[in-house]
Amino acid sequence: MKVFVAGANGRVGRHVVNKLIQKDDDVLAGVRDPKTQSILRHDHVAYVPFNLHQDINQMVEAFSNSDAVIFTAGSAGKDVAKVDLDGAVKTMKAAEKAGIKRYIMVSAVNADHPETWPGQSLHDYYIGKHYADEWLKQTDLDYVIVQPVTLSDKPATGEISSDYAKLSDDISREDVAEFLAQVVRKQSANRLTVDISNGDEAIHEVISDL
């Protein structure tokens, strides 16, 4: 499988690239500057110039011959409108234009629960994520929207929870990446939203139940 990773140099994106090549997938790693950001040297990884301020046709070219797109990019609340909303929507349009059906979005827990936003320090971020997710739901893409809780750099456990009522406070970025690398391959899991946190169920078991 050939997978384009948007935000491949980010803290989640780097893990995703690693997880995909461990599964013998080919990776197109989208980064702003391949000359300085080509961190991982591997036969199955090609770094390509990509940023969310590009126009859609440039994105289509970057996605060349990909089977799927995994969106891991984010502005950390600093440029929500241009990155988390407009940039994300452009990648969806580009995927459709490129003939790519499989699209995995990293969103955020409670992006679809506006009643939880008041008082949040990242209120604008939730708004951006919410409407990007809503746009994705209106496309013809075979999408999975992944909504993790607060991300951490703790060691991976390989176990998560996808029960909204039982979500814990955090989840390791590496566990999120493993979930993404597995779920992108499960074609029957599509047009759905999944909340994830640290938990006690093996990642592959959660995915098998989707």
Tally of domains in the chain:
1
Check: CB of residue 49 under 8 Å from CB of residue 82. Answer: no
Q: Whole-number mean pLDDT of the chain? A: 95
- Structural domain for 36, as ranges: 2-208
Q: Which residue, 78, 53, 193, 183, is CA-closest to 130?
A: 193
Rounded Cα gap, residues 193 and 74, in angstroms: 18
pLDDT at position 83, please?
Answer: 94
pLDDT at position 41, please?
Answer: 82
- Cβ-based neighbour number of residue 163 at 10 Å: 13
pLDDT at position 63, please?
Answer: 97
| pLDDT for residue 177 is more than 80 | yes
Tens of pLDDT, residue by residue over 193-209, are 999 999 999 999 999 99
Tens of pLDDT, residue by residue over 100-114, are 999 999 999 999 999
SS3 58: helix
Tens of pLDDT, residue by residue over 2-49, are 999 999 999 999 999 999 999 999 999 999 998 877 677 889 999 999
* Strands 192-198 and 159-161, sheet pairing: antiparallel
pLDDT at position 174, please?
Answer: 98
Active site amino acids: 125
pLDDT at position 152, please?
Answer: 98
Q: Alpha helices of the chain — where are they, by DSSP H?
A: 13-22, 34-37, 56-62, 88-97, 123-137, 173-183, 203-208
pLDDT at position 38, please?
Answer: 67
Calculated CA dihedral for residues 162, 166, 168, 169, nearest 10 degrees: 100
- Residue 178 φ then ψ, to 5°: -65, -40
Predicted TM-score (pTM) of this structure? 0.96
- Please spell the DSSP secondary structure of 117-167, one letter per residue: -TT-TTHHHHHHHHHHHHHHHTSSSEEEEEEE-EEE-SPP-SEEE--GGG-
| pLDDT for residue 70 is more than 80 | yes
Strand partners for 70: 5, 104
Output the domain CATH number for residue 7: 3.40.50.720
